[in-house]
């Protein structure tokens, strides 16, 4: 799968393996309201939404939410192992945000209830001062590791 957020480079080539193309799965239209929070029947849950790059779920807030959900779903309830978050820039003023994780089979609906409750609590009361400070430290570390990776890529390319 190739995702592009702009015109493809003129020299882009995508070599494919020899042989016939695999059949495409049938398309299934789903009229889903977005933003959306959903559970899967495979022991997962996820939340995806579109937002401008400057939206509230930027900076330390995503990590604060992830940490809160880990404490709630993993430590307190024992129904998850990991929670992840991602951002994909779709256009200069539009990001797709994702937060999701695994959950023990049969506890998907409970996970959704707990996630919605934690989101409501964070929206109502905001993060604590301690969470903000820890989130700032994490954001700086994340930004520094991203800068380091970019620098390493630049060095390896020449």
Flag whether 12 is in a domain. no
Mean pLDDT within 136-154 = 59
What total of structural domains would you count in the chain? 1
Higher pLDDT, 18 or 27: 18
Residue 100 lies in a domain: yes
Residues 122, 128, 130, 135: is their CA dihedral positive or negative? positive
Q: Please give the backbone phi and psi of residue 87, each rounded to the nearest 5 degrees, phi first.
A: -130, 130
CA–CA separation, 19 and 16 (whole Å) = 9
The average confidence (pLDDT) of the chain is 76
Instruction: Please state the rounded mean pLDDT for residues 31-42.
Output: 65
Q: Which domain does 85 fall in, by range?
A: 36-157
Helix (H) or strand (E) holding 97: strand 94-102
Has residue 75 been placed in a domain?
A: yes
Q: Which residue in this structure is represented by tokens 């109502």?
A: 124
> In this structure, is residue 69 part of a structural domain?
yes
Question: Which pLDDT value is given to residue 114?
Answer: 92
Residue 74 falls inside a structural domain: yes
Which pLDDT band, with edges at 50, 70 and 90, does 151 fall under?
very low
**CATH number of residue 110's parent domain:** 3.30.830.10
The pTM of the whole model exceeds 0.85: no
Question: For 61, what's the count of Cα atoms within 13 Å in the CB-facing half-sphere?
Answer: 14
CA–CA distances in Å: residue 130 to residues 108, 112, 126, 127, 135? 30, 26, 12, 8, 8
């Amino acid at each position: 799968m190739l995702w592009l957020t702009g015109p493809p480079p003129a020299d882009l080539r995508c070599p494919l393996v020899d042989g016939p193309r695999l059949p495409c799965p049938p398309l299934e239209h789903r009229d889903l309201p977005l933003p959306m929070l959903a559970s899967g029947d495979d022991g997962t849950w996820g939340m995806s939404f579109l937002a401008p790059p400057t939206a509230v779920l930027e900076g330390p807030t995503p990590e604060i939410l992830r940490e809160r959900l880990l404490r709630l779903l993993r430590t307190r309830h024992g129904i998850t192992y990991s929670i992840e978050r991602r951002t994909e820039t779709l256009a200069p003023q539009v990001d797709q945000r994702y937060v999701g994780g695994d959950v023990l089979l049969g506890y998907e609906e409970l996970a959704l209830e707990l996630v919605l409750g934690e989101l409501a609590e964070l929206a109502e009361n905001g993060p604590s001062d301690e969470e903000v400070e820890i989130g700032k430290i994490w954001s700086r570390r994340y930004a520094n590791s991203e800068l380091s990776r970019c620098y390493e890529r630049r060095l390896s390319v020449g």
